[in-house]
Amino acid sequence: MIRIANLDFTYRGGDFRLAIDDLVIEDGTTAAVVGPSGSGKTTWLHLLAGILVPDAGSIVVNDVEVSGLGDRRRREFRIRQIGMVFQEFELLDHLSVLDNILLPYRITPALDLEEQVRVRARDLAERVGLGDKVRRPPRRLSQGERQRVGVCRALLPDPPLLFADEPTGNLDPETSDRVLDLLFDYAGERGATLLTVTHDHSRLDRFDRVLDAGPWGRRP
Amino acid sequence: MRDVLYLAWRYLAHHRFKTGVLVASITLILFVPAALRTLVDRSERQLTARAEATPLLVGTKGSPLELVLSSLYFGQDVPERMPFGETARIRETGLAQAIPLYVRFRAGKDPIVGTTVDYFDVRGLEIADGRSMTRLGDCVLGARVAKQRGVGPGGSILSSPETVFDLAGIYPLKMRVTGVLAPSGGPDDEAVFVDVKTAWVIEGLAHGHEDLTSPDAAARILKREEGRVVGNASLVQYNEITDDNVDSFHFHGDVAEFPITAVLALPFDRKSSALLRGRYEAPDETRQILKPATVMDDLLGDILTVEKFVVAAFLLVGLATLATAALVFLLSIRLRRREIETLVKIGGSKPRVTAILLTEIVAVLLASAVLAAALTWAVSGMAGELIRTWVG
């Protein structure tokens, strides 16, 4: 469960302010976050993930008060509990498809890269149709394939939460559906909570909830 | 740690051109001063060691450096000659052992050193194969000469004529190789040693030919006058000394007046050294006596000054290169800000992300250092070659 109370956040030196009095999202919920650009959707997602720290209020995710953790613990929490998917995929050019999927296990001592993890990474690549492309560098993949690699990377640690920031923003409709299918399938099978920032209103009916970020962001 | 190394390696391998240029630049900057320093050090040690092993050197007055380079390192410049009698003059003082040196001729590029067998004892040289020279026309080869030419005892070496077109000049002499010296790591490895009399044969001061008094030689006689027999142009002169013709070789003139280039003087004690040096202090003295170590110290002092300037210049260039490399690293990190942010967003630990970036830098520096060390080690063995090139 995600519980937000009296949240207040302002970028240092900036004039944007995000404030949420009370918000609860139940476990296993699939929620789309919509709202105009600059309304604070990505900021909100980053606050939940512990990438940003609120000035006031509390954010409790799966019984952990993220806003009260130090930097090291927030990073550990994030890499164990949250799978992040990005609009620009954010794959590393110098790594192969397989190494990109395994990346979370190589950048923290909190996860152990064991053989079963490698097997699972290959299985995931196989499931998303990239089984024969695991040795390729990302530049030799299509946009849709790259995002599928990004999804595999997010899913590999088997997180109970999936945060996707406009995951279909750079994809054609058909590919968008395929990527969303992957996210929804995982959330369904795992019982994971899926929070997706999106501008694509045509697919909102797939989500359990639609959160409007419009009232969250304020400028003086 | 394995993951840090792997990710750093993947990054460097992916950007292999950039990595290669960085490694090459830093390697060069580390290598040049290090190699220069090593070569100068080794050359200095070799030059100094040989100079210090030669207590005193006597030669005709002129350039002390030329005399030292010729007598110790067998350089190509031949100092002013002096009579062989100078050797006896020193011996007769009872102050030092005297060993003549006549370093003028070459066999190809290898110097022919006319001396006595005592030279081998003085230099601590041992015959590794064969025996020492015992007869006119014999020679003993330095280890490197023997190896390069593939010649050993029983083989032969031909001395080089001084000028090809000078018909009255020095003709080649075919010398019998009787022995090969054990490697000494110095100029003796590069030389062909002969008895000083053999060197005079090369010069034409001694020669051998058919016996003009025999009945078979009648056709070779130009004229007979007051007990002398003069041969004509058909008289065969020997260009090789063999057991059969060695007795026909004879010297014309006073051997004491025959030329040598230097005398190695080994005083029996410090007092003898001082006394011997005093003998050459007279204002009208035409010879010079010098301590090779002092001459080499002066020379090395000049070399070291030049080296200091070169090293200082390279240090400045090195600092500029390292500053540029640092800028490249910083710009690279800046360009990768988005990549680093992604690692942070995913949950990468701060120490590990920092370690990956640092490992990339350290790997480049380490590869450069290892490469520079390997290159320096490779060229350090060239100190001998450097001395040979420099001495000529």
| Test mutation, A42, A48, A73, A75, chain B, max B CBs within 10 A | A75
Domain-terminating residue out of B290, B320, B348: B290
Please return the burial class of A60, using the count of CB atoms within 10 Å of its CB with bins 0-12, 13-18 and 19+: middle
Interface of B with A in 179-198 (CB under 8 A): none
Q: Tell me whether A80 touches chain B (CB under 8 Å).
A: yes
| Test mutation, B16, B17, B345, B360, chain A, max A CBs within 10 A | B345
Indicate whether B147 pLDDT > 90.
yes
Percentage of residues of chain B with pLDDT beyond 70: 87
List the single range of B194-198, B264-268, B382-386 with lowest mean pLDDT.
Answer: B382-386
Please give, rounded to a whole number of angstroms, the shortest distance from the CA of A112 to a CA of chain B.
10
Within a domain: B77: yes
Task: Give pLDDT, residue B210.
Answer: 64
pLDDT, one tens digit per residue, over B255-288 is: 889 999 999 999 998 899 999 888 888 888 888 9
Q: What is the span of the domain harbouring residue B190?
A: 56-208+249-290
Residues B27 and B123 occupy one common structural domain: no
Domain-terminating residue out of B267, B290, B313: B290
Residues B60 and B40 occupy one common structural domain: no
| Placement of tokens 């509990």 in the chain | A81
Residues B74 and B191 occupy one common structural domain: yes
**Between A and B, how many residue pairs show a Cβ–Cβ distance under 8 A?**
72
Query: At B73, is the pLDDT very low, low, confident or very high (cuts 50, 70, 90)?
Result: confident
**Higher-scoring residue by pLDDT: B203, A73:** A73
Residues B313 and B179 occupy one common structural domain: no
**Structural domain count of chain B:** 2
Task: Give pLDDT, residue B16.
Answer: 92
Task: Give pLDDT, residue B217.
Answer: 63
Residues B108 and B175 occupy one common structural domain: yes
Residues B285 and B341 occupy one common structural domain: no
DSSP state letters, A178-203: HHHHHHHHHHHHHT-EEEEE-S-GGG
Amino acid at B55: P
What interface predicted TM-score (ipTM) does this complex get? 0.88
DSSP state letters, B341-385: HHHHHHT--HHHHHHHHHHHHHHHHHHHHHHHHHHHHHHHTTHHH
Within a domain: B103: yes
Task: Give pLDDT, residue B213.
Answer: 66
Residues B184 and B319 occupy one common structural domain: no
Indicate whether B163 pLDDT > 80.
no
Q: Tell me whether A140 touches chain B (CB under 8 Å).
A: no
How high does pLDDT run on average in chain B?
84
Nearest to A79 among B10, B15, B346 (CB): B346
Q: Tell me whether A66 touches chain B (CB under 8 Å).
A: no
Indicate whether B168 pLDDT > 60.
no
Indicate whether A156 pLDDT > 70.
yes
Query: At B111, is the pLDDT very low, low, confident or very high (cuts 50, 70, 90)?
Result: very high
Q: Tell me whether A110 touches chain B (CB under 8 Å).
A: yes
Domain-terminating residue out of B258, B290, B322: B290
| Placement of tokens 């000494």 in the chain | B184
Across the interface, whether the CB atoms of B344 and A86 are under 8 A apart is answered no
Indicate whether A211 pLDDT > 80.
yes
List the single range of A63-67, A96-100, B164-168, B367-371 with lowest mean pLDDT.
Answer: B164-168
A162 token code pair: 């999936």
pLDDT, one tens digit per residue, over B243-261 is: 777 777 777 788 889 999 9
Task: Give pLDDT, residue A72.
Answer: 92
**Higher-scoring residue by pLDDT: B255, B355:** B355
Query: At B389, is the pLDDT very low, low, confident or very high (cuts 50, 70, 90)?
Result: low
Residues B39 and B116 occupy one common structural domain: no
Within a domain: B220: no
pLDDT, one tens digit per residue, over B1-48 is: 888 999 999 999 999 998 999 899 889 888 887 887 787 777 777 778
- Residue B154 · residue B89 · CB < 8 Å: no
Within a domain: B213: no
Across the interface, whether the CB atoms of A51 and B345 are under 8 A apart is answered yes
Determine the longest span between alpha carbons in chain B, in angstroms: 116
Residues B144 and B279 occupy one common structural domain: yes
**Higher-scoring residue by pLDDT: B28, B140:** B140
Indicate whether B151 pLDDT > 80.
yes
| The CATH number of the domain covering residues in A2-218 | 3.40.50.300
Residues B264 and B328 occupy one common structural domain: no
